[in-house]
Amino acid sequence: SRFETCWPALMKDSHGVIIIFNPDLPSHLKEIEMWYSCFVQQQPLLDSQCLLVAHHKPGSAGDTENLSLAYPLNKLKLIHSNLEDDPEDVRMEFIKYFKSIITLINESREREEMSIIS
């Protein structure tokens, strides 16, 4: 991809990765494996720092029940979004995700401070 040269700058000091994809496109399902590998595994970030969002286009009547992702993507938190439905669920999931990232950052900061003190 023509943006690959920018990736190191994007990844630097990042605390979380949100991957949004269209589950109706088989090519997207292959691509998210690459994004996960580059942006999560190679950093390395914890799986809990990654959120997958399967975004269903209006009218696609996306099958939210039977989207089965292969390992290692099936270990990640997956939410379905659809702008036709009530977006409140998605909003709540985003808030939960951001809270978990903030908790991780605070915990690692405390560990660093303790290691400096001791």
Position 25 confidence tier, pLDDT thresholds 50, 70, 90: confident
Q: How far apart are CA 17 and CA 76, in angstroms?
A: 11
Instruction: Identify the pLDDT of residue 4.
Output: 76
| Neighbour order of strands in the sheet with 77-82 | 17-21, 50-56, 77-82
Structural domains in the chain, CATH included, are 7-117 (3.40.50)
| pLDDT above 70 (res 38) | yes
Contact in structure between 32 and 21 (CB atoms under 8 Å): yes
Q: How far apart are CA 52 and CA 32, in angstroms?
A: 9
Q: Give 52-107 pLDDT, tens digit per residue.
A: 999 988 777 655 566 888 899 999 999 998 877 778 888 999 999 999 999 999 99
